[in-house]
Amino acid sequence: LGGMATGEDEQTQILIDVGLLDHLLPILNHTKRATRKEACWLVSNVAAGSTKQIQAILDSNLIPCVVKHLASSESEVKKEATWCVANMLSGGTPQQIKTLVSHNIIPPLAVGLKSSDASLLSLTLDSINNILKAGNQFQIIDGLDTNPYFNLIEQEDCLNLIYSLQKHQSRTIYQKSKQIIENHFNSDIEIDVDLMPSVSLDGQHFNFGINTV
């Protein structure tokens, strides 16, 4: 089933139409870790589809369980749950993102910013960036003074965590964290250019700080 959900949106819609999402909750709560992982992978594939398919997930009873796995200490399950949330935040409408945020996804995403897994960090940064972008739209539409998600992000110490990720060995992580700070937070937060990683002579590692001769 997970493989079918990786196909075209039409294939995924067939699975939804026959009631797939209505039967996933027991599988997401299965006692076997591998089964929970596969169930999260299946949901993440559906979440990579159309906004209609994302809405079907939101209308199901699966989100609280996905958020629980987002906070899991089981790395494989956590990563698949992160993919699910990241896909929904990437392809969802601002209103769908608002609904997802209301399920308290920001605290477990903040924990994800402490991960040693670069791919998980990248997904988490993308997720936070998409939350903030949706918040920017609500700020404009509703005539708000600030992005409505700023406080939620800052309450979980996300800003400090993102700022510290400029020291990460991955250039991708550095660039994504820098982009979030520059695009969404106050301009008086300075980005230290000396933190930007440069490639070492062997081309395999990143160096930080001012280069010495």
**Rounded CA separation 92/175 (Å):** 24
DSSP 122-154: HHHHHHHHHHHHHHHHHHHHHT-SS-TTHHHHH
Q: Is the pLDDT of residue 159 over 70?
A: yes
Tell me the one-letter amino acid at 186.
N
Query: What pLDDT does residue 197 have?
Result: 47
What pLDDT, in 10s, does the model give residues 37-67? 999 999 999 999 999 999 999 999 899 999 9
Query: What pLDDT does residue 15 have?
Result: 87
Least confident of 34-38, 162-166, 181-185, 194-198: 194-198
**Rounded CA separation 126/47 (Å):** 15
**Rounded CA separation 135/150 (Å):** 8
Which residues are paired to 206 by β-bridges?
A: 199
Q: Is the pLDDT of residue 209 over 90?
A: no
Which residues are paired to 198 by β-bridges?
A: 207
- The model carries a pTM of 0.84
Dihedral sign of CA atoms 98, 99, 100, 106 in order: positive
The CA distances from residue 176 to 55, 116, 153, 155, 203, in Å, are 27, 16, 16, 20, 21
As given in the structure block, the two tokens for residue 194 are 């000396």
**Rounded CA separation 158/96 (Å):** 22
Report the Cα 160 to chain-centroid distance in Å. Answer: 17
Torsion, Cα of 204, 205, 210, 213 (10° steps)? -50
Report the Cα 119 to chain-centroid distance in Å. Answer: 11
